[in-house]
Each structure stands twice: as C-alpha cells, then as structure tokens.
Chain A
Amino acid sequence: MNEITCECGHVNPEGTVLCEACGKPVEDNQHLNGNENQALLNMRYDGSARRSQTYNRTFIDKVWNFFSSVKVGVWLIVITLIASAIGTLLPQEMYIPPGSDASTHYKDQYGLIGQIYYQLGFHNLFSSWWYMLLLALIGISIIIASLDRFIPLYKTLKTQKPKRHDQFMKKQRIFGKTESDSIDMQLMKENLKKNRYKVTEEDGSLFAEKNRFSRWGPYVNHIGLIVFLLGTLLRFVPALYVDDFVWVREGETKMITGTEGQYYIKNEDFILENYDENDERFQEAIMRNGQPVPKTYQTNAVIYERTDDIVVGKDPELKEIKEAQARVNHPIKFENYTLYQASYQQNEFNEMTFKLHDMDDEDSSYGEFTIDLNDPETEYELDSGHVVVLGSYFPEYELDDGKPVSVSKYPRNPAFVFNVYPPGESDGEPEVSFAGIGANVDGSGENEFKVGLVDFDVRDVTGLTVRKDYTLPFIALGGAIFMIGVIQGMYWNHRRIWVKPKDNGVWIAGHTNKNWVALKREIEKSTKGTGIEPPVDQQELKD
C-alpha cells in the first residue's frame, strides 16, 4: 500500500484523487478522474480511491475492474433490452396455441422469419441459458460496481473536513470570491441552518451539508435488486414453490394436486355470467364486440383436509375446513395454498343414456343403458338379454384423415363404437355401429338393431391453479428495498456548501450531485445580507 499523506496531514489510501479530508487534488492521480488540464474537478465519488481505478495486475483485479465498470453495466443492460424486445416480436412458446408443435408452428405461421426465430431459440428466450446468464451478469455487475464505489465514498464523506484546500474550492462548479471586510459569517451560518443545512466549523471555515443519505440511494436500490433476483432463484428450490393445476367437475370431490394428498376440493357449482346485453351503459360496446362479454367466472367450492393417514387406495376421511368462492382476481386461500380461477369447460358430458331398438322402428325397445362418461363400463347387459359391448370410446371425438380419434380424455364430444350381441349369441359376430353427438352410423349397412341416444346430462368443469409460494416475501422485500433506495436517491439531493475566510474576504463553493438550479437558489438565499456575493456557475460561463 502506497499511502498518500496530504499536506493537511491526512493519510489517504492508494489511488485517492482528492484528499479525503481537505479535497486537495493528489497530483499523480488526476488522470483517474480525467481532471488533467480541466478547469473544474470531476467530483464523482468525491475523488475517493476506488479499487477498480487503483489495481489492474492480477486476474482478480481484471475481473473486478470489468464488472465494476458502468460502461460494461450499461452494455449488459442494452443487450438484455434488445434481446427482450426481439423476444416480443413473435409470441413465446408458452403463448402459442396449446397442442401445436413449436418446431413447425413458427415456420408455418411466420415463414422464414419464424423458422430463424425458432432456430435461434427466441421462442423460449426468457428461460434460455443465455438470457439467464445476462441477468446473472447484471447481478454480478451490480454487486461489484456498488462495492467498488460505496465503500470509498462512504469513507470519504465520513472523513471530509470543513476546511477545504484552495485548489478544491476554486475548481468547484459553483464558486465565488468576495473581497470585503464586512462579512457576517455568523448570519451566513444561521441562514444555512435555516435552510436545514448541518453546519460545522474549522478554523473559521464553514461547511454546510444536507441529505447525505441520498448518496446511499443507488446502493440501497441495488441491494433491493439483488434480493429480488435471489428471490426468483429460490423458485428452483422445490420445497418453496408449488405450481399445479386441477380440473374439478361440478359435484365432484377431488384431491388437490400439489398438496401431497392432504387437501381435497369439492366443486359445488361453476358460474359463468355474461354482461346483460340490454344494459344501456354497455350496449354499444357489447354490440361492437359481437359476442357476449363475460362478467364473472366463479367456482363455489368446499375445501377439505384429509384427517387419516394417507394410504393408497383407501377412501380418505375428510374434514371440511372452508367454504369459499374462487373468482378471477379473488383466489381462495387456505393454509399456505392459493387456488386461482384459471380455466373452465362448460357443458362437459356427464352421463349418456342409450336405447337399443329395431332399426326401422324407433318406438320399439330392448332396454336402456346409461354410460358414465368418466368411468364407462366395458359392457352393458340389457333387460332383454341383449349385450352391448363398448368397442371403443372417444371422449373428445374428431375425424382425423377419416379415422376417428380422441383429442383429449375429457368427455366434450363423446362418441362410441358399440358391438351389439343378441341374447345368447355372445360368441357370434356382433352388429357394429358408431354413435356420437348427431351421428349414428350403421357399421355394415345391414344392421337389425340401432343404439339410439335418449338422454344425456352435462356439467361444468372448473380449472384451478394450485400455488404455494414461499418465495414471494423475498421478492416483495427486494421490490420494497429497491423502491426505498430509488426514492431516497432520486427525491433528495446531496448538497454541500463551503465558505472559507481569506485575508481580504471569503471564498464560497458549492456542490450537489444533481439539481444545480435549486442549489444556486439556496446559496443565493443564504448569502442574503451577509455581504457574501452569490457565486457563479463556472460551467455555464464556460459555454
């Protein structure tokens, strides 16, 4: 360590630009802040000794210097900014229609641009390793750049003395000399105090300072950002975060996925309400919309807790803990879980009742059978002795290239292939027919019997997101610290005024980190009646 002893007697650390105590420029270090041949001193970080400006030998020094550079930080921000912008040009993979394949979707929808977008990984930009890396680099840059500046700046502002070196005074942006023998320093002091400055004295020199805490704002908000980023990382700890989804049909009681079998939910009723088209307030807007505008999505639910030990296959003993409604914007909260109204399916088929009759006589009947669509049996024996075997079941039937398929396991458009065996002929060839909503096809064209739909009943299904998130407090804390820091740094200004008696009058200088107009105004107010002439803005003169 090559310490620097100033002529005022203060011992400064290596790399100091302006003496911590008196502000005298350290001759050999002026290049660090670009002060050579300049009329004014660069006052950033008060000329304190920053590690990044002092050492550049070892590998660690180089890494430190790289990350502590604001230039590097801004470049990281700009690269992230541009990448994010590109990431919004086409929808992210999570927003493309469910079921579509990303590898073909982008090409089909957006042509060559889509293909390139997909190949470069922009379709999943925000969870890509390199976007994460950018955020991590920003995080590292924030930590190192803050440490590099905060520690020396804190030391310097703590060490500063009221009496400043002439060189320091003269090279301040706000500076003035008054030559007069009738100067009222006492009044000046009082005026400064009246303007809520903290005034200290040394050998007749006055030093007035206010709002030093605002200088810590940037470092506080950077701490907030780090806490926030760490909070988002906590998501990857499984015990802290549950994200699951449960479909519950009306009337059904179901285990809530993600709660390890501990909680159950019963869907009493799902309500979808639309705005009244005749409401005169909204008539015009609803007309323009062309279809009903939804007003409410709501699930009336009962939450149960399982009270017995969890044994596979054993029916649970349930204790009601809460009756509640989940609406959009008003989730159900219980214990540490939250249930969000996220989706719904209206009019899902519950049961369908069929009748076996003669092909050419709808009024004849060989008996009826009812299929529970969520738990269909493999065969149904009718009163007449006929047996209907469920050849195939398509819960959500669609024709794909002429072949019947089911696009989901949810009974939204059920269809069946029935094999009908007359009484006592269960070994013979069955009559095959196909039945669905609005479709009934005779397999051979020579069928004697027909399976006709006589009744069905439907119900709604609600889709709820299940969340448990212990990381939220950290994230909220990070956000709060950030806000405090940013307000502290932005809404207050660190202002300093130095008055130094000279043989034939006084010198006055002022500095602030921002909002110079207000500083000038305050100095003008404080000098009133003291005989001290208001200083000038040397930067303005220069222009």
Chain B
Amino acid sequence: MGDLSAISSNLLYAAFVIYLVATFFFAGAIRDKKSTSPDRIGKIGIILSIVGFFTQLGYFFTRWGAAGHAPVSNLFEFITFFGMMLVFAFIIMYFIYRINVLGVIALPIALLIIAFASMFPTEISPLVPSLQSHWLYIHVTTAALGQAILSISFVAGLIFLIRQVDQSKKTKQTFWLEFVIYMVATTLAFIIISSVFSAFNYEASFEAPVEGQPVEITYEMPAIAGPFDGELISDGAMSPLFQAPEWMRGVDAAIKFNTMIWSILGGLVLYWLVRLVVRKRIGSALQPLLRKANPEIVDEVGYRAVAIGFPIFTLGALIFAMIWAQQAWDRFWGWDPKEVWALITFFFYAAYLHLRLSRGWQGTKSAWLAVGGFAIIMFNLLAVNLIISGLHSYA
C-alpha cells in the first residue's frame, strides 16, 4: 500500500517534468528560425505531452488504488486532476487545429496549476459519508473536464491578446494584459515562497482568541500580518508587522491573509524583475514570439473550446451535481456558494455564446471574455474554498 502511494507520487513528479520538457519543444517550434523544421519539433512536443498525460493518469489510478477511492476528494487531488484535464483538453484541441503555439501557453499553465496543487496537504484523506458515492468521480471528473476545456479558451484568448493588443502605446488593454501576467507571477511567487519556507520547516506559533477561546495558530511563513490580538509564542520567529483585521475570524483566516500578502508582494518582485530585464511591458516582450500565430484560427480555437466545454461543464457541474445533491442532501439545489459559482460560470459562458453568436463579439472582445471566464473558474476553484468558507472558520 505504502509502495503504491510512493509510486503514485513519483509518477506525478515524472509527469511534471515531461510536461516541462514538452513546453520547451513547443517553444522551439514557434521560433522564427527557418533552419529547423518546426513541424517536427512540434510533433515531439505533442508526443511528450501525451506521454506526460499517460504518466499522470498512472499517478491518478495508482493513487486511486492506494486510497480506495477516486483521488478527487480534496484540494490537492482536485487541482491536480484539473491540471491533468487541462493537458487532455489541450491535446484534443491540438489534434483539431494542429497549432503549436497553444502548447506554449497551455502547458505552462497546467504546470503552474499542478505545482500550485501540491502546496496543499497531499496526504490521502478518508472520505466523509457525504462523499461516499459513485457520483463523486462521475460529477467531479466531468466538471473538471468541462472547466479544463473552457480554460483552453482562456489560453487561446491570452495568445490572441498578446499577439493582437497594440503595444505601441499604453492603453486599458495593455494594463489588463499586464495584470493577467502579474497574476501568473503571483501564483508562481506563492509556489516558490511556500516551497522555500516548507523546505526550511519554518514555523511561527501564535496564541490568539478564536470565538472567545485562546487557540494556538501556527504559521508556516513568517507573519507579515499576525492574527488579531495574537501573541507570538515561538522563539526566534519574526514578529508580525501588523495584525489581520478583526473580521477575519477562524483559525485559518489570518494565515491565509498572510499567505496572500506574501504572494502579492512576491508576484510584484517577480514581475518587476522580469520587466526591468526586458525593459518594456512583458506583453510587449512576448508579442514577437507569437507572431507566427494566426489570430483568425486562434480566435476560433477559443470559441471552439467554449462550444465543446460548455455542454460538458453543464452536464458535470450542474446536472450531475444536482443528481448527487438530491441523493446526498435531499435537495438538488441549495444555493451553497460552490453551487452558485457553478451557476455563475454557466451564466457567464451562456452570455459569451449569445454575445458571440448573436451580437458578433469576436476576436478581441471574445478573448477578453475568455479571460473573465477563467477568472470565474479560478475563483470557484480557490476563493470559494479558501476565502468564502474560510472566513467562516472552517477550513
């Protein structure tokens, strides 16, 4: 058993590395050099992506074997699975449209997502009664696949925007494009900072009142923002610069707030480091790399991803969800934040489709919508789990 779960984590590492290598091949394939054959390099890229995907499938099923249930039951498992589905969705779209540039953006995003996932507790957790159902994997896998395909439209949208946004002057569009890039930097910063402090086993404990009771709260990063009314009890730990606001209740709220501050600052550092090196907007520095992308086709890929993903998302995240909720909680719909955000996602992409089909929103407008849709998906994936419920003191 222990062996199986060890094999499983090794397979995940391997998949990660393979995706990384594949990214470099795709990057090579879109270089402008005439001497090498881009098609052949791209072919190696896609073969590697497929190999990586199967390796990660190996992780998935060995972990399933070790746990006795489908590994989609906590944040680490779900986000990892989402990353895997993103690669799968990319592979599908690649075979429909055969464009290498998709891999240059899709794979790094999948890599970031998988790395991000492993910042959460990775141990195998037992299934609480409400999750003990076949619908767990039917609903969760379909919903994740739907979200992943929808995310490909974000990938296409991002390519479109980097390629098309006029970088000769500063506009709202260049600002927001930089903001998207900055969000990517923030995610990367979070991963780096968490990994570094956990490698050093950093800990700072506080005693702070939670609902009137003194509770020990342990930070795994130096506390920039300490818990409200908290007192540092670890030796040698940095004392906080300020306290989290009072309304952040619960054991984890202040920790999450602190982590967010670290990520935002870290993101700023990363972003400006790169920006100082390239000496222009990062979007503008990336633009020439994507010159070979045909915006017409990229736009269609974005739309196609929504066309394919929307029904799957609806089926998985709304219909299967309702069937399961009816069985487990005696009502198919309960206006729980996660449900509402699935509905919001549905509404958003419904609006996307109406705007595109009936009002001719194509190209740039459509690409920005795709970015917005991805923001909603990420919000549902993270904020609803970490912030909305986190503020109410359960993790």
Contact = CB atoms under 8 A, between A and B. Distances in A.
A515 interface: yes
Interface residues of A, number: 67
B126 A282 contact: yes
Contacts of B388: 88-89
A474 to B, nearest CB: 12
B310 interface: yes
A541 to B, nearest CB: 11
A87 B335 contact: yes
A472 B311 contact: no
A286 interface: yes
A174 B308 CA distance: 24
B328 interface: yes
13 contacts: A70-B355, A70-B358, A77-B347, A84-B340, A84-B344, A88-B340, A281-B126, A297-B129, A329-B130, A329-B133, A467-B330, A472-B332, A515-B304
A80 interface: yes
B351 A286 contact: no
Contacts of A490: 307-308, 310-311
B127 to A, nearest CB: 8
Interface stretch (A360-368, A399-407, A480-488): A480-488
Give the size range of B's interface with the partner: 35 or more
Contact of B125 (A87, A109, A282): A282
B308 A491 contact: yes
Given A284-B123, A487-B311, A517-B297, A85 B132 contact: no
B288 interface: no
A288 interface: yes
A540 interface: yes
A494 interface: no
Interface string A311-347: 0000000000000000111110000001010100000
B228 interface: no
Interface string A75-105: 0011011001101110110110000000000
Nearest to A465: B330
Pick the 8 closest A-B CB pairs, nearest first: A285-B125, A328-B129, A284-B123, A340-B330, A70-B358, A88-B337, A282-B126, A329-B133
Contacts of B36: none
A126 interface: yes
A329 B335 contact: no
B68 A81 contact: no
B314 A486 contact: yes
Contacts of A327: 129
A485 to B, nearest CB: 9
A420 B244 CA distance: 57
Given A281-B66, A281-B68, A77 B351 contact: yes
A517 B97 contact: yes
Nearest to B339: A88
B1 interface: yes
B296 interface: yes
B300 interface: yes
Contacts of A465: 330
Q: Name, among A44, A71, A486, A513, the residue most crowded by chain B CB atoms within 10 Å (CB to CB).
A: A486
Interface string A287-306: 01100011111000000000
B359 A514 contact: no
Interface string A249-279: 0000000000000000000000000010001
B330 A71 contact: no
Contact of B126 (A295, A328, A483): A295
Interface string A364-377: 00000000000000
A475 B297 CA distance: 39
B212 interface: no
Contacts of A3: none
Interface string B302-313: 011001101100
A47 interface: no
A44 B361 CA distance: 13
A110 interface: yes
B132 A328 contact: yes
Interface stretch (B9-17, B201-209, B319-327): B319-327
Given A73-B354, A483-B319, A282 B335 contact: no
A15 interface: no
B296 A342 contact: no
Nearest to A342: B330
A335 to B, nearest CB: 17
Interface of A: 42, 44, 70-71, 73-74, 77-78, 80-81, 84-85, 87-89, 91-92, 94-95, 109-111, 126, 218, 275, 279-282, 284-286, 288-289, 293-297, 327-331, 338, 340, 342, 465, 467, 472, 475, 479, 482-483, 486-487, 490-491, 513-517, 537, 539-540, 543
B44 to A, nearest CB: 24
A338 B328 CA distance: 12
Given A126-B340, A281-B124, 10 more contacts: A78-B347, A81-B347, A286-B126, A293-B128, A295-B128, A328-B132, A486-B310, A491-B308, A514-B304, A540-B296
Contacts of B350: 77
Given A81-B351, A280-B2, A543-B296, A285 B124 contact: yes
A275 B126 contact: yes
B329 interface: yes
A104 to B, nearest CB: 16
Contacts of A472: 326, 332
B24 to A, nearest CB: 28
Contacts of B354: 70, 73-74, 77
A109 B355 CA distance: 40
A15 to B, nearest CB: 17
Q: Name, among B303, B326, B341, the residue most crowded by chain A CB atoms within 10 Å (CB to CB).
A: B326
A476 to B, nearest CB: 8
A483 B315 contact: yes
Contacts of B330: 331, 338, 340, 342, 465, 467
Contacts of B196: none
Contacts of B300: 515-517
A342 B129 CA distance: 11
Contacts of B357: 218, 513-514
Nearest to A124: B335
A81 B348 contact: yes
B247 interface: yes
Q: Name, among B97, B330, B348, B360, the residue most crowded by chain A CB atoms within 10 Å (CB to CB).
A: B330
Contact of A74 (B123, B125, B355): B355
Contacts of A543: 295-296
A514 B307 contact: yes
Contacts of B337: 88
B392 interface: yes
Contacts of B138: none
A9 B211 CA distance: 82
B5 to A, nearest CB: 8
Contact of B247 (A74, A110, A514): A110
A289 B124 CA distance: 12
Contact of A293 (B126, B310, B336, B347): B126
Interface in B46-74: 66-68
Contacts of B97: 517
B351 A78 contact: yes
Given A78-B351, A340-B330, A515-B304, A71 B359 contact: yes
Given A71-B359, A479-B322, A126 B311 contact: no
A89 B125 CA distance: 28
Given A282-B125, A490-B311, A491-B308, A331 B303 contact: no
Contact of B1 (A111, A281, A540): A281
Contact of A126 (B247, B326, B335): B335
Nearest to B124: A281
